[in-house]
Amino acid sequence: MLSDLGKKLSAERVEGLCILEACKGLAFRVLACDEAFEGLFGKDCNALRAAPNMAALFHSEVPIEFELHRCLQSGKPGQFHYTVGDKKVRMRAYPLGQNILTLHEDLAYEAALNHAYNEWKVTSQFLMDSPDVFWKWEIKTDAVTVTHNFFNWIGKEVFELSLSTFLKQFQDGVPLERALKALIETDTSCNTELKIESDRGIIHCLCQAQVVARNARGNASMVLGRLTDISAQKQLQEQYQALSETLENRVQRRTRQLANVNKNLEAEMFERMRAEEEIVCFKTTIDCSSEAVVWVSPEDNMRFVYANKAACEHFGCSVEKLLSLTLFDVNPQAVAAQALHKDAWIQEQVLTPGIRETLHQRVDNGNLIPVEVASTVFDFRKSKRVALTIHDLSKRKEAEASLITALEHERELSRLKGVFVNMVSHEFRTPLTSIQSATDLLEHYWERLQAPEREEQFDSVKLGIKRITQLMDDVLLIGRIEAGKLTFSPQLTDFSKLLQALKTTLSGAFPNRDIRLEGPSDGLYTLDSNLLQYILNNLLSNACKYSNGTVVLRWSVKEKTLYIEVEDSGIGIPEKDRSGLFKMFSRGSNVGNIKGVGVGLFCVRHCIDLHKGDIQCKSREGEGTLFTIRIPL
């Protein structure tokens, strides 16, 4: 019969059932018990019956055997608490003649719910100024409790909210209803975007996140959620008014609760124990929070009186060190205010609830950190305290700086594209005009032109084609550089032979220039001959183009490094133009009518970079230019 009764009561989360027999004095011993009661103590029924009294089985803060005796004498049921190992158990006692039937219930589930609720209630005290809305749905009673900001958003106060009436406050509550269903059934949590409209037509865009609490059997019992306003915030005056109304309601509700709690001693003891659990739960939650949270004392020169682990990491010091400092030691703005208008700064920046940006200084290295601080003033043990929740803005500031840099880069690219189109159009038009003019002369005056004159026109066409081909090569090379597709293919190269071929080509293009080569007569080096030919051809062509005198190319090898110098005595490069010398479309301000696009040195630098080398330039305006290249072999 006892076993059947235990199974019947299992739905009430009863851990065990036991019948106690009164002995001499105030002692009680186990007369009979079920398997669940044996499992609670980890002993079989015989061992439990062998215990001389109840005190030998468990520990309790109240004299349970005395209370059991009173229960037996009065013939009325009683309720007591005790611990077994790490379990907290509630015992309900029912007199049966000279014996007592006891039901033992594990309080872990109820404690977990109380902890979760108390955590939410205590946390809401410190988040009263937060722009977010926190809400709780009790699944069993279908009751929904929200923080005051929710009523600010909808413009009215709704009493006794259920889930259905809560969902009706949104323009479309279906996504939230689906998210809650998925969370309860599969523990799948997702953020949901919602919209809510006030009675004045103001629409708030919200982001919803939620978590579910489950009982000992794994059934969902409570859902805690957070609504974040991602649109414009209400005006500060409306927030203060809503906060005042909510605080007044909370004070009235708390007064009624305290009046009911004081009715009997048992209820008062239970309430005190629950308050202690709330404090422990709150401290544990704040200690484990990823956000830095500190308390400061306005009565002790804003000294830190509490700091969680995240705050110690934020300021770069131990909790002992941080609690020896004041807010003025870690806030440069506060230091400046301390000397000028200390009291006004404290009132505006600390004692006035709200969210504001400032700077913090790390204790370990002195680095400044941009932060966002939310302050809440509260009373603690007859003293005033200020809770500061600190959010590091470093990553956000870095992201903003990156966006600004990217925007400036895009603007520069757009400008360069315009310059490129104008310069290339002009450079293409000149040789095309020469080709058109030469072909027109050959077409209409072929018979009249002498052989040397015809050859001169053909040379003009060839020169124009060569110029267009060079421009196209430069454009294609820029495209490969910008796309990251310019390849580096080193191979054994006869450097002297390559230079002789370049000299021959350039001497034909610039017959009036004296091009000299100075260096070893032989040398095989592992280089990308195509890239190297482009580098030297560009530097030598520029030297010939901007100089009427001798152009010298020197080279030597020292310590496995190839040194190349290209020197001319031409117009030189103005000092103001040298900083952008290797940038795309950059040309000296003194080039006059000398043709050019301004992309050659940009390509040269990238070709040298692929060789893991470097290039330097020395120049005096009107005296000449010297380029020095170093390429490791």
Mean pLDDT, residues 132-158: 83
For residue 626, what pLDDT band results from cuts at 50, 70 and 90?
very high
Q: Is the dihedral of CA 326, 329, 330, 335 positive or negative?
A: positive
What stretch(es) of the chain map to CATH 3.30.450.20? 2-106, 110-279, 290-391
Q: Is the pLDDT of residue 563 over 80?
A: yes
| pLDDT at residue 11, as a whole number | 40
Q: Is the pLDDT higher at 316 or at 563?
A: 563
- pTM for this structure? 0.36
Provide DSSP, 439-462: HHHHHHSTTTS-HHHHHHHHHHHH
Mean pLDDT, residues 176-188: 83
β-strands 28-33, 14-22 pairing: antiparallel
> Which residues are within 8 A (CB) of 281 and not within 5 positions of it... i.e. 6 or more apart?
115, 118, 119, 122
Mean pLDDT, residues 521-550: 87
From CA 36, how far away is CA 17, in angstroms rounded? Answer: 7
| Phi and psi angles of residue 443, each rounded to the nearest 5 degrees, phi first | -70, -40
Q: Under a CB-based contact definition with an 8 Å cutoff, are residues 305 and 380 in contact?
A: no
From CA 271, how far away is CA 278, in angstroms rounded? Answer: 10
Closest to 423 in 3D by CA, of 598, 221, 248: 598
> 290-391, which class in CATH?
alpha beta
| Phi and psi angles of residue 36, each rounded to the nearest 5 degrees, phi first | -60, -40
Q: Which residue has the tokens 């939650």?
A: 285
Q: Under a CB-based contact definition with an 8 Å cutoff, are residues 184 and 223 in contact?
A: yes
For residue 97, what pLDDT band results from cuts at 50, 70 and 90?
confident
| pLDDT at residue 287, as a whole number | 79
> Which residues are within 8 A (CB) of 117 and not within 5 positions of it... i.e. 6 or more apart?
136, 222
Q: Is the dihedral of CA 551, 557, 559, 560 positive or negative?
A: positive
Per-residue b/e over 119-147, b at no fewer than 16 CB within 10 Å?
bbebbbebbbbbbebbbbbbbeeeebbbb
Q: Is the pLDDT of residue 8 over 50?
A: no
Helix (H) or strand (E) holding 406: helix 394-444
For residue 458, what pLDDT band results from cuts at 50, 70 and 90?
confident
The highest-confidence range among 85-99, 252-266, 464-478, 618-632, by mean pLDDT, is: 618-632
Q: What is the mean pLDDT of the chain?
A: 80
Structure tokens at 221: 């019992």
> The CATH number of 398-478 is which of 3.40.50.300, 3.40.190.10, 3.40.50.1980, 1.10.287.130?
1.10.287.130
| Phi and psi angles of residue 449, each rounded to the nearest 5 degrees, phi first | -80, 140
* Tens-digit pLDDT profile for residues 409-447: 777 667 666 666 666 665 666 677 777 777 877 778 788
> Which residues are within 8 A (CB) of 85 and not within 5 positions of it... i.e. 6 or more apart?
42
| pLDDT at residue 5, as a whole number | 45
Range in 19-33, 63-77, 336-350 the model is least confident about: 336-350
Q: Is the pLDDT higher at 205 or at 629?
A: 629
Structure tokens at 125: 């005290």
β-strands 550-558, 514-518 pairing: parallel
| pLDDT at residue 631, as a whole number | 93
For residue 12, what pLDDT band results from cuts at 50, 70 and 90?
very low
* Tens-digit pLDDT profile for residues 358-393: 877 777 777 888 888 888 888 887 788 888 888 888
Q: Is the dihedral of CA 511, 515, 520, 525 positive or negative?
A: negative
Q: Is the pLDDT of residue 10 over 50?
A: no
Q: Is the dihedral of CA 516, 520, 522, 525 positive or negative?
A: negative
| pLDDT at residue 555, as a whole number | 92
Per-residue CA distances from 585 to 81, 416, 423, 579 (Å): 85, 7, 8, 13
| pLDDT at residue 455, as a whole number | 81
Q: Is the pLDDT of residue 2 over 50?
A: no
β-strands 561-568, 524-527 pairing: unpaired
Helix (H) or strand (E) holding 10: none
From CA 427, how far away is CA 445, in angstroms rounded? Answer: 28
Considering the chain, what percentage of its residues have pLDDT values greater than 70?
A: 86
Mean pLDDT, residues 235-259: 74
Number of residues written out for the chain: 633
From CA 103, how far away is CA 9, in angstroms rounded? Answer: 9
CATH topology of domain 110-279: Beta-Lactamase (3.30.450)
Per-residue CA distances from 439 to 108, 429, 556 (Å): 100, 15, 47
Mean pLDDT, residues 337-358: 73
The highest-confidence range among 6-20, 128-142, 350-364, by mean pLDDT, is: 128-142
Q: Under a CB-based contact definition with an 8 Å cutoff, are residues 529 and 566 in contact?
A: no
Q: How far apart are the first and last CA of the chain?
A: 96
> Which residues are within 8 A (CB) of 320 and not within 5 positions of it... i.e. 6 or more apart?
none
Mean pLDDT, residues 174-181: 85
Per-residue CA distances from 119 to 29, 131, 284, 317 (Å): 39, 19, 10, 28
Q: Under a CB-based contact definition with an 8 Å cutoff, are residues 513 and 547 in contact?
A: yes
| pLDDT at residue 9, as a whole number | 43
From CA 626, how far away is CA 554, in angstroms rounded? Answer: 11
Structure tokens at 60: 């309790």
* Tens-digit pLDDT profile for residues 483-528: 777 888 899 989 888 898 888 888 877 888 888 999 887 778 889 9
Q: Is the pLDDT of residue 312 over 90?
A: no
Structure tokens at 599: 């992309």
Considering the chain, what percentage of its residues have pLDDT values greater than 90?
A: 6
- SS3 per-residue string spanning 219-282: CEEEEEEEEEECCCCCCHHHHHHHHHHHHHHHHHHHHHHHHHHCCCHHHHHHHHHHHHHHHHHH
Helix (H) or strand (E) holding 74: helix 64-74
Structure tokens at 343: 């009291």
Q: Under a CB-based contact definition with an 8 Å cutoff, are residues 291 and 130 in contact?
A: no
Q: Is the pLDDT of residue 58 over 80?
A: no
| pLDDT at residue 566, as a whole number | 93
Q: Which residue has the tokens 């008062």?
A: 268
| pLDDT at residue 572, as a whole number | 86
> Which residues are within 8 A (CB) of 502 and not within 5 positions of it... i.e. 6 or more apart?
533, 536, 537, 540
CATH code for the domain defined by 2-106:
3.30.450.20
From CA 143, how far away is CA 382, in angstroms rounded? Answer: 35
| pLDDT at residue 423, as a whole number | 61
CATH topology of domain 487-632: Heat Shock Protein 90 (3.30.565)
| pLDDT at residue 239, as a whole number | 64
Q: Is the pLDDT of residue 176 over 80?
A: yes
What stretch(es) of the chain map to CATH 3.30.565.10? 487-632
| pLDDT at residue 163, as a whole number | 87
